[in-house]
Amino acid sequence: GSSWVSAFLCFIILLTTVGNFLLILLIITQRSLRNTSNYFLVSLFMSDLMVGLVVMPPAMLNQLYGRWVLRGDFCSLWYSFDVMCCSASILNLCVISLDRYLLIISPLKYKLRMTSCRALWLILATWTLAALASFLPIKMGWHELEFEVWSPNVTSRGDEDQCRLVVSLPYALVASCLTFFLPSAAISFTYCRILLAARKQAVQVASLASNVATATTDETAPQVPCVLSQPAAGSESRRFANKHSKKALKASLTLGILLGMFFAAWLPFFVTNVTQAVCGCVPAGFFDVLTWLGYCNSTMNPIIYPLFMRDFKRAMGKYLPCCRRS
């Protein structure tokens, strides 16, 4: 059984690392992708790449051996990177949703508002908040139960070989709110506003198409028989409206998939993390499964986001024949 588990975890690590690295390389090498909006995607893929390179391999060894096999002083350092990289990934998703929201709501003012300098400052603030929620509390011992002085290498009572982060309730609440619950509320709000804006635009386009068709019918009535002109104009307007209705439906499905994957990956972990801080009644094996489920969000991000972005499809079409279209 351990061989199958190790093979599966190695596949997850390889897919996470290769996928995020290739997309970062694609953005850097393709001029069409080097824009302000994709700065945030580079930051997201970088945090997910660090999850695959720094966080997942020690977690796999910890899972397979059932104990911490690396040097003891690496335990607190690894868990600090774990919290920082996963928090940075979630916060980057929040910033990306905010960027998309500004682009949809006011596309004409977007370039004036979201300059390269402001984008870099937002990315810096994202990583700073992630670092402050991880390295500082763990280094200072603020995460420990009742602020007791424990060994920084061992975070589980009665099991000196384990490297598990057992946190106090105040730290669990504050860190979870800053790195998940508040960003999740912001992501849900912005994506819902984007969805409403897309539907509103679809209705406006359909109404405009209907008015144009009516005007065309009135102008051509003296020259073309009314029986022939009205059905043709009506079918054209319906085709135009259906096209934009399908675009709105596609946008709805896309946002539903993005939100669904994000909450399915991280919501169980953070709810269980707070529950563990309250009662300490969560089995270690179950907690590990939820932790890896959260890690898998870093595996899915480089698959989901480019899958629904036309610029990435065009750039990938230069290298992958399966992405090309006639």
CATH of the domain at 130: 1.20.1070.10
- Structural domain contains residue 225: no
- Alpha-carbon distance of 210 to 213, in angstroms, equals 5
- Alpha-carbon distance of 166 to 169, in angstroms, equals 10
Range of the domain at 22: 1-141+164-213+239-312
Provide the pLDDT for residue 224.
47
Domain count for the chain, please give it: 1
At 175-196, the pLDDT tens digits run 889 889 999 998 888 888 887 8
- Alpha-carbon distance of 170 to 29, in angstroms, equals 45
- Structural domain contains residue 298: yes
- Structural domain contains residue 228: no
Distance (Å) of CA 85 to CA 49, 127, 131, 268: 9, 9, 9, 18
- Alpha-carbon distance of 190 to 94, in angstroms, equals 9
Provide the pLDDT for residue 74.
87
At 214-266, the pLDDT tens digits run 555 555 555 544 444 455 555 655 565 566 556 656 656 676 787 888 899 99
- Structural domain contains residue 20: yes
- Structural domain contains residue 132: yes
Contact 90, 183 (CB under 8 A): yes
- Structural domain contains residue 278: yes
Provide the pLDDT for residue 250.
64
Alpha-carbon 152 to chain mean position: 31
- What string of pLDDT tens digits covers the 326 residues of the chain? 578 889 999 999 999 999 999 999 999 988 888 888 889 999 999 999 999 999 999 999 988 888 888 887 888 889 899 999 999 999 998 998 888 888 877 778 888 888 889 999 999 999 999 999 888 888 877 766 544 433 343 444 344 577 887 788 888 888 889 889 999 998 888 888 887 877 777 677 667 766 665 555 555 555 544 444 455 555 655 565 566 556 656 656 676 787 888 899 999 999 999 998 888 888 888 999 999 999 999 999 888 877 777 777 787 777 766 555 54
- Alpha-carbon distance of 298 to 85, in angstroms, equals 10
Query: Of how many residues is the chain composed?
Result: 326
Who contacts 171 (Cβ-Cβ below 8 Å, separation ≥6)? Answer: 137, 142, 143, 277
- Structural domain contains residue 156: no
Provide the pLDDT for residue 143.
67
- Structural domain contains residue 326: no
Provide the pLDDT for residue 7.
92
Provide the pLDDT for residue 32.
83
